[in-house]
């Protein structure tokens, strides 16, 4: 492992993966067994430590539970292994693992502990069902026909997934597990309505925390927001 002091900008792949790397670290702080797994795996890598921009930690990207965390980590490890240009994301995990204090009697190889290993992005465990969330300005929603609302919701959903698929190099297996599940028909789309102020607040959070999302505007005002299935389902509900 080398330490490189040149400050790097986030690459396209880092903008995609770094928030999820930060979420893995945040979840590890709440789950000691997962922390041991994560530190053991990352310490086996030879990733450089680089100086990069701050990466926000979003609670809206945290796994639902330990099984969910293992599946997301499995996906993340594969993407990091196949994208060496994700240097900031790799460094983020390396710095954390370097500072991790292993429990007494357990070395860096964590002998005897079941570790997650990359499986080419294929998820085999039973996972929670995820949602693609769409929030519409309630005033605008009441002013359009059901057909128009359906068309715009469908377009937002498809465009958002297409955007994530492009970031994944066109490979469904490289999508975040929740997005992959939605793409393969294993999840649903949920439509909510909100006041204009609530909608703007949700959009502001999505931008600040670098959550994958798309918007639809009418008369230069955002009237609909679609949020990736990778974002926790409570992102919208908790603010309505």
Asked whether the beta carbons of 38 and 24 are under 8 A apart, the reply is yes
Domains belonging to the chain, first-starting first, are: 3-99 (no CATH), 131-237 (3.40.1490.10)
Given a cut of 90, is residue 106 above it in pLDDT?
no
Phi, psi angles (nearest 5°) of residue 31: -140, 105
Q: Calculate mean pLDDT across residues 220-231.
A: 96
Residues 6+ apart with CB under 8 A from 124: none
Q: How confident is the model at residue 71 (pLDDT cuts 50, 70, 90)?
A: very high
Whole-number mean pLDDT of the chain?
87
Q: Give the CA diameter of the chain.
A: 65
Range list of H helices, 144-223: 146-167, 177-183, 196-208
Q: Match 């979003």 to its residue by tokens.
A: 58
pLDDT digits (tens, 9 = 90+) for 114-166: 444 444 344 444 445 579 999 999 999 999 999 999 999 999 999 999 999 99
Max mean pLDDT among 42-56, 78-92, 185-199 falls in 78-92
Asked whether the beta carbons of 60 and 17 are under 8 A apart, the reply is no
Q: How confident is the model at residue 109 (pLDDT cuts 50, 70, 90)?
A: low
Q: How confident is the model at residue 187 (pLDDT cuts 50, 70, 90)?
A: confident
Phi, psi angles (nearest 5°) of residue 63: -60, 155
Q: How confident is the model at residue 72 (pLDDT cuts 50, 70, 90)?
A: very high
Q: Calculate mean pLDDT across residues 226-235.
A: 93
Phi, psi angles (nearest 5°) of residue 150: -65, -45
The pLDDT value given to residue 111: 40
Closest residue by Cα to residue 205 from 227, 184, 176, 189: 227
- Of 32-41, 64-73, 179-188, least confident by mean pLDDT is 179-188
């Amino acid at each position: 492992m080398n330490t490189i002091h040149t400050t790097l900008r986030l690459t396209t792949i880092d903008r995609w993966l770094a928030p999820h790397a930060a979420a893995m670290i945040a979840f590890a702080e709440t789950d000691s067994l997962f922390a041991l797994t994560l530190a053991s795996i990352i310490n086996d890598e030879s990733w450089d430590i680089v100086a990069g921009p701050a990466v926000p930690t979003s609670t809206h990207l945290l796994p639902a539970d330990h099984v969910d965390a293992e599946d997301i980590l499995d996906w993340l490890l594969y993407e990091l292994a196949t994208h060496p240009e994700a240097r900031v994301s790799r460094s983020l995990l390396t710095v954390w693992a370097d500072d991790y204090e292993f429990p007494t009697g357990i070395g860096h190889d964590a002998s005897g502990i079941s570790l997650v290993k990359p499986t080419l992005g294929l998820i085999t465990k039973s996972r929670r069902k995820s949602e693609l969330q769409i929030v519409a300005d309630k005033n605008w929603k009441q002013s359009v026909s059901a057909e128009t609302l359906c068309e715009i919701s469908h377009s937002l959903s498809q465009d958002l997934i297409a955007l994530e698929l492009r970031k994944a190099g066109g490979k469904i297996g490289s999508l975040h597990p929740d997005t992959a599940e939605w793409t393969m028909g294993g999840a649903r789309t949920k439509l909510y309505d909100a006041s204009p102020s609530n909608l703007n607040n949700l959009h502001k959070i999505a931008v600040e925390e670098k959550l994958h999302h798309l918007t639809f505007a009418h008369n230069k005002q955002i009237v609909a927001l679609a949020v990736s299935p990778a974002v926790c389902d409570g992102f919208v509900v908790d603010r309505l």
